[in-house]
């Protein structure tokens, strides 16, 4: 799986992302062609090689003619611009998804609806071009998966349309919810709203660099010069090792409840799964003072932690929840439809590289067919496995 790793040790912004992908081999002429098709007057793009603390890096710039008046734009205006551009549909969808993230954050900051929010900093021409160009560059490189390091947000204050605000600024802070980040030692804004939105939309996991067969390394220059380090975004393009699935960061939530009515316990796990938990489970334990209690656990992605935690508070009645960050590896999974003598059931293949490892029919589908046709569920299940494994060697 061709993977992009974002090494955000100096934060991330839209122009740094585009620059780093260009430095790693993305097609600049393709970016020029697509940007021209956006139909936006008074702008052009440029790239150049520069040095940051002795590190050769690429700088990407959107040059805007100050004499051309630019209107305020709502989300639907920006989506129309993206939709009319001459680029693959997947690039359009991803660019629109990034702006959706930005719009939702801005709407929450202003206490308004997504339809009414005006795009200020994030709606400027350079941000529109950065987001389109970043997604086009990602497509140009054939990236299938994005992994990111912990983000560095910066510290101190930043001037924006809301006045002087602490870093991270309001929209950036919302976009970083559920994403691993820290302030870092640098003063000022190191992660911008555009950079945070790109990471939020792209990254499937966060953690240390784990690539085999690194094919390219790119350095994207930031606008500031820092006194003690190169202000760059570093990216790695490579492949995930077939023998070792990618590591991803997950959060584990736990609580112990000793006053829960057992009749109500059965509703908790389904509620946690509905809230976005990857898995959830309960165990009977002996608590303090010899009381019978339930140990409730949930596994979720960082971005879903707030929703899952809220659900656990609401449905368990607990007064406190412990949580921690862990790493996990999962096999690649693929959904399939399986034919049995009694009808079709859903199934799952899991793979380690190109090798089929496990075959699993959906139990609920098998049970429904077994009840409908008055046959043992075991027969339906085994027939589904036979259909799934046909022609594949375990």
**Average pLDDT of 56-82?**
88
pLDDT greater than 90 at residue 348: no
Q: Are residues 137 and 165 in the same domain?
A: yes
253: left (phi over 0), alpha (psi -120 to 50) or beta: beta
- Residue at which a domain ends, from 191, 206, 239: 239
What mean pLDDT comes out for the span 350-376? 85
Please indicate, yes or no, whether residues 367 and 264 belong to a single structural domain of this protein: no
Domain boundary among 214, 239, 264: 239
Q: Which of 2-6, 135-139, 270-274, 303-307 has the lowest mean pLDDT?
A: 303-307
Please compute the mean of the pLDDT values over residues 109-125 and round it to a whole number: 73
Query: What pLDDT is stored for residue 120 in this prediction?
Result: 56
* Whole-number percent of the chain with pLDDT over 70: 93
Task: Say if residue 197 is in the same domain as residue 150.
Answer: yes
pLDDT band at 243 (very low <50, low <70, confident <90, very high): low
Pair 101, 165 in one domain? yes
Do 156 and 287 have their domain in common?
A: no
Contact (Cβ atoms closer than 8 angstroms) between residue 232 and residue 3: no
Domain assignment of residue 222, yes or no: yes
Is 41 domain-assigned?
yes
> Which CATH number characterizes residue 354's domain?
3.10.20.300
Q: 180 in a domain, yes or no?
A: yes
The answer to whether residues 117 and 46 belong to one domain is yes
- Write the CATH number for 273: 3.30.70.1380
Q: Check residue 391 and give its pLDDT.
A: 42
User: Do residues 196 and 131 both lie within one domain?
Assistant: yes
Other CB atoms within 10 A of residue 286 CB: 10
Quick one: 167 and 263 in the same domain?
A: no
The verdict on residue 306 lying in a domain is: yes
Q: Is residue 232 part of a domain?
A: yes
pLDDT, tens digit (0-9, with 9 covering 90-100), for 275-295: 999 999 999 999 888 889 999
pLDDT at 240 over 80: no
pLDDT of residue 202: 95
Same domain, 200 and 57: yes
Looking at the domain assignment, is residue 369 inside a domain?
A: yes
Residue 298: its pLDDT value, please?
97
Give the sheet arrangement for strand 212-221, strand by strand: 43-52, 55-64, 212-221, 232-239, 2-7, 145-148, 205-206
259 occurs within a structural domain: yes
> Cα(35)–Cα(25) distance, rounded to whole angstroms?
18
**Is position 394 within any domain?**
no
Q: What is the pLDDT of residues 73-100, one digit of tens each?
A: 888 889 999 999 999 999 999 999 999 9
pLDDT value of position 76 = 87
Q: What confidence tier does 333 reach under pLDDT thresholds 50, 70, 90? A: confident
Number of domains into which the chain is organized: 3
Domain check: are 255 and 352 in the same one?
A: no
**How much is the pLDDT for 392?**
42
Apex 321 CA angle, 318 and 324, nearest 5: 160
Structure confidence at residue 122 as a pLDDT band (50, 70, 90): very low
Q: What mean pLDDT, rounded, does the chain reach?
A: 89
Beta carbons within 10 angstroms of residue 29's beta carbon: 7
Tell me the mean pLDDT in the region 306-316.
95
Half-sphere exposure of 161 (CA within 13 A, CB side): 11
Lowest model confidence (mean pLDDT) among 169-183, 320-334, 371-385: 320-334
- Return the pLDDT at 241: 60
Residues 340 and 364 in one domain: yes
Looking at residue 347, what is its pLDDT?
87
Residue 222: φ, ψ to 5°: -85, 170
Q: What is the per-residue pLDDT across 145-188, written as a single tens digit (0 to 9) for each?
A: 999 999 999 999 988 777 888 999 898 999 998 888 999 888 99
Spell out the residues 6+ positions from residue 69 whose beta carbon is closer than 8 angstroms to its own: none
Same domain, 228 and 255: no
Least trusted range by pLDDT, from 63-72, 80-89, 131-140, 183-192:
63-72
Domain that holds residue 373: 332-389
Element of type H or E holding 247: strand 247-257
CA distances from 357 to 2, 301, 387, 392, 393 (A): 21, 24, 15, 10, 9
- pLDDT: is 310 or 114 the higher one? 310
**In terms of pLDDT, which residue wins out, 185 or 238?**
238
């Amino acid at each position: 799986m061709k993977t992009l790793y974002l090494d955000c040790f100096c934060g991330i912004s839209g122009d740094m992302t585009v620059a780093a992908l260009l430095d790693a081999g993305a097609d600049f002429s393709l970016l020029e062609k697509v940007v021209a098709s956006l139909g936006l007057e008074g702008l052009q793009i440029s790239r150049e090689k520069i040095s940051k603390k002795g590190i050769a890096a690429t700088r990407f710039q959107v040059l805007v003619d100050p004499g051309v008046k630019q209107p305020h734009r709502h989300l639907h205006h920006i989506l129309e611009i993206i939709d009319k551009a001459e680029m693959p549909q997947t690039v359009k969808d991803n660019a629109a998804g990034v702006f959706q993230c930005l719009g939702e954050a801005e709407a929450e900051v202003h206490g308004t609806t997504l339809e009414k929010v005006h795009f200020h900093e994030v709606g400027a021409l350079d941000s529109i071009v950065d987001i389109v160009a970043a997604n086009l560059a990602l497509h140009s490189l054939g990236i299938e998966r994005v992994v990111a390091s912990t983000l560095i947000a910066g510290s101190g204050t930043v001037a924006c349309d809301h006045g002087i605000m602490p870093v991270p600024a309001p929209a950036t802070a919302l976009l970083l919810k559920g994403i691993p980040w820290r302030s870092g030692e640098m003063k000022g804004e190191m992660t911008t709203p555009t950079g945070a939105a790109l990471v939020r939309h792209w990254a499937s996991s966060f953690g240390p660099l784990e690539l085999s067969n690194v094919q390219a390394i790119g350095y994207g220059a930031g606008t500031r010069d820092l006194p003690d380090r190169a202000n760059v975004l570093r990216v790695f393009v490579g492949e995930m090792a077939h023998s070792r699935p990618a590591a991803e960061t997950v959060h584990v939530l736990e609580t112990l409840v000793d006053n829960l009515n057992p009749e109500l316990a059965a509703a908790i796990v389904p509620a946690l799964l509905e809230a976005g938990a990857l898995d959830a489970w309960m165990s009977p334990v002996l608590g303090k003072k010899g009381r019978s209690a339930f140990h409730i656990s949930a596994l979720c992605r960082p971005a879903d932690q707030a929703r899952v935690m809220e659900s656990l508070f609401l449905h368990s009645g607990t007064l406190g929840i412990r949580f921690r960050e862990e790493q996990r590896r999962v096999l690649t999974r693929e959904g399939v439809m399986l034919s049995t003598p009694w009808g079709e059931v859903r199934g799952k293949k899991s793979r380690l590289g190109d090798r089929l490892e496990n075959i699993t029919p959906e139990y609920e589908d098998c049970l429904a067919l077994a009840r409908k046709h008055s046959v043992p569920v075991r027969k339906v299940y085994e027939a589904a496995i036979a259909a799934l494994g046909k022609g594949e060697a375990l």
